[in-house]
């Protein structure tokens, strides 16, 4: 019906997809308001985002919170109430916030403030809200922002790449003595993991492995809220490692990728997809891992846990909750975690405390797995003394899986993790996954940039005049052109180089040009 701001361009295909993804796909008898989220592939090539920030945000934000380049997130507030004046006897409407940022908490909180007002007052309400949001500062990693909207100030800290993983965000204090006191969000993006994972707590280990390996997985849930929360919880459980596969927190049969995912002529893609329509049980039953969750049921004090079942048991009509898979975990179960969580339930420990326990466990697991890879990768970096000013910097040595496997004997995950099991098998399988590829490319890019930066510093330390003594004009001009190119690249790629180093290289170039005959000076200055 309406897009705000009016000048935001969506293709027809995107508009259709957003419409389908903004409503529950299967009959939901529940009246009232529900919130959920989806993720949508951008149609028709990349478009410039209206917010140009030269990539600074993505360089400073944790990799798990970077701005998406080819996908949009949709955050939905759906209302369904009886209304006899409507043809169907119901008022059904959704307000959707579309963003490239995965700030699920911030945007769902914002919708809770805006949507009820919007359903009442319609367009003028959105216009007023957008005018306020236009005045918000950009999200700068590491900063705490105060965001005024509709008489409330939302206060939130934007996480930064330099935050220590697992540390709770510094307690935000209302320093400016804002009146009224701000609505403080503990996190822009972290879900209540304990609540999301309640029916699968005893299988957390298996789910972590499936996510780490980028295995294709379907989450079937009774509602878009449950499906989207479970998918987002699953993809977040590798932090600080980025989940590099595709994921759809909520997916419908009308989606343009429906055929791509349901075809049986090729293996299912590396994706976690959340669905609610029972029809999917039939169309996706060839997928290797299907997690079916029902409405949460308690057995005594404890949430009822789903069982692992064989894929052959997947019934098309009445599928019972369970994890349908033939996957065998590489690592043994962590019984102590489960005991601590169960004790927490019995003692009625708050959900956020249980979530913190769960998050710390997953973080330690991921770190135990990734630290040996980081150590091995660092050993591939050339020695600093091999970097000389007048030669191109040496290459990073190639990653050899067998060498890495040998390094595990004395520096493997067993040093930091009590879990026993087939760690080597897990690494071998990980090497075939998009998550390894994404991690390796990013590390390699960072190391290459570090080499470039060290090379520039080596040039700064060098005695350029002594070098020039026995060189021909051709060699000197060649050096000027190469240095210029390095300087441009350092600025464009925002290499980790001090500004004074860049200025000194600039001065060097001027000094060298100054020593050349005038006709060459003129050419080089142009």
Instruction: Give tens-digit pLDDT for 177-218.
Output: 666 688 999 999 999 999 999 999 999 999 999 999 999 999
Task: Determine the average pLDDT of the residues in 498-519.
Answer: 82
Q: How far apart are CA 360 and CA 203, in angstroms?
A: 16
Residue 252 lies in a domain: no
Instruction: Answer whether residue 435 shows pLDDT above 80.
Output: yes
Q: How many separate domains does the chain show?
A: 2
Residue 411 lies in a domain: no
> Is the four-CA dihedral 100, 105, 108, 111 of positive or negative sign?
negative
Task: Determine the average pLDDT of the residues in 54-76.
Answer: 89
Q: What's CA 494's distance to the chain center, in Å?
A: 22
Instruction: Answer whether residue 454 shows pLDDT above 60.
Output: yes
Residue 70 lies in a domain: yes
Q: Which two tokens stand for residue 452?
A: 């470039």
Residue 196 lies in a domain: no
Q: Which of 9, 123, 141 is nearest to 64 (CA)?
A: 141
Residue 112 lies in a domain: yes
Task: Determine the average pLDDT of the residues in 406-432.
Answer: 88
The highest-confidence range among 210-214, 250-254, 305-309, 514-518, by mean pLDDT, is 210-214
Residue 352 lies in a domain: no
Instruction: Answer whether residue 176 shows pLDDT above 80.
Output: no
At residue 8 the predicted structure's pLDDT band, cuts being 50, 70 and 90, is confident
Q: How far apart are CA 274 and CA 257, in angstroms?
A: 13
Angle in degrees, CA 279, 253, 206, rounded to 5: 70
Instruction: Answer whether residue 492 shows pLDDT above 70.
Output: yes
Q: How far apart are CA 298 and CA 320, in angstroms?
A: 16
Q: Is the pTM of this model over 0.85?
A: yes
How confident is the model over 106-147, as pLDDT tens digits? 999 999 999 999 998 888 889 999 999 999 999 999 999 999
Residue 446 lies in a domain: no
Q: Are 421 and 332 in contact (CB under 8 A)?
A: yes
Choice among 228-237, 281-290, 430-439 with the minimum mean pLDDT: 281-290
pLDDT of residue 418: 78
More confidently predicted of 299 and 87? 87
pLDDT of residue 409: 86
Domain with 48 in it: 12-166+176-185
At residue 259 the predicted structure's pLDDT band, cuts being 50, 70 and 90, is confident
Q: How far apart are CA 357 and CA 340, in angstroms?
A: 9
pLDDT of residue 174: 46
């Amino acid at each position: 019906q309406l897009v705000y701001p009016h000048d935001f361009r969506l293709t027809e295909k995107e508009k259709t997809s957003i419409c389908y993804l903004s409503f529950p796909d299967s009959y939901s008898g529940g009246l009232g308001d529900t919130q959920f989220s989806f993720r949508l592939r951008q149609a028709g090539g990349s478009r410039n985002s209206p917010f140009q920030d030269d990539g600074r945000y993505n360089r400073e934000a944790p990799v798990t919170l970077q701005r998406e380049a080819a996908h949009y997130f949709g955050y939905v507030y759906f209302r369904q109430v009886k209304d006899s004046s409507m043809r169907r006897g119901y008022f059904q409407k959704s307000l959707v916030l579309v963003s490239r940022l995965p700030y699920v908490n911030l945007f769902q909180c914002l919708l809770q403030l805006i949507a009820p007002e919007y359903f009442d007052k319609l367009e003028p309400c959105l216009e007023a809200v957008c005018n306020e949001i236009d005045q918000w500062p950009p999200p700068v990693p590491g900063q705490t922002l105060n965001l005024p909207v509709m008489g409330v100030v939302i206060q939130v800290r934007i996480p930064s790449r330099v935050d220590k993983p697992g540390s709770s965000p510094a307690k935000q204090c209302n320093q400016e003595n804002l009146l009224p006191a701000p609505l403080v969000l503990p996190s822009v993006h972290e879900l209540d993991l304990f609540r999301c994972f309640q029916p699968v707590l005893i299988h957390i280990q298996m789910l972590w492995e499936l996510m780490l390996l980028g295995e294709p997985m379907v989450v079937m849930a009774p509602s878009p809220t449950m499906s989207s929360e479970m998918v987002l919880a699953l993809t977040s459980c590798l932090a600080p490692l980025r989940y590099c596969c595709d994921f759809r927190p909520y997916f419908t049969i009308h989606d343009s990728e429906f055929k791509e995912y349901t075809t049986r002529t090729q293996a299912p893609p590396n994706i976690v997809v959340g669905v609610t329509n029972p029809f999917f049980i039939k169309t996706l039953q060839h997928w290797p891992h299907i997690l079916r969750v029902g409405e949460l049921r308690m057995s005594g004090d404890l949430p009822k846990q789903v069982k692992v079942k064989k894929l052959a048991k997947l019934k098309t009509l009445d599928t019972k909750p369970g994890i349908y898979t033939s996957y065998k975990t590489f690592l043994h179960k962590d019984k102590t975690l489960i005991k601590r969580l169960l004790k927490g339930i019995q003692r009625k420990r708050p959900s956020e405390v249980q979530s913190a326990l769960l998050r710390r466990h997953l973080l330690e697991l991921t770190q135990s797995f990734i630290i040996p890879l980081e150590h091995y990768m660092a050993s591939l970096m050339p020695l600093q003394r091999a970097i000389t000013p007048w030669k191109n910097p040496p290459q990073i040595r190639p990653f050899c899986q067998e060498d890495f496997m040998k390094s595990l004997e004395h520096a493997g995950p067993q040093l930091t993790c009590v879990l026993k099991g087939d760690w080597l098998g897990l690494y071998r399988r990980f090497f075939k996954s998009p998550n390894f590829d994404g991690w390796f490319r990013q590390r390699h890019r960072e190391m290459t940039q570090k080499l470039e930066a060290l090379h520039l510093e080596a040039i700064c330390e060098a005695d350029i005049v002594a070098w020039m003594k026995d060189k021909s004009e051709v060699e000197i001009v060649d050096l000027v052109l190469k240095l210029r190119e390095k300087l441009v690249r350092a600025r464009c790629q925002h290499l980790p180089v001090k500004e004074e180093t860049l200025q000194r290289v600039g001065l060097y170039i001027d000094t060298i040009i100054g020593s050349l005959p005038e006709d060459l000076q003129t050419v080089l200055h142009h």
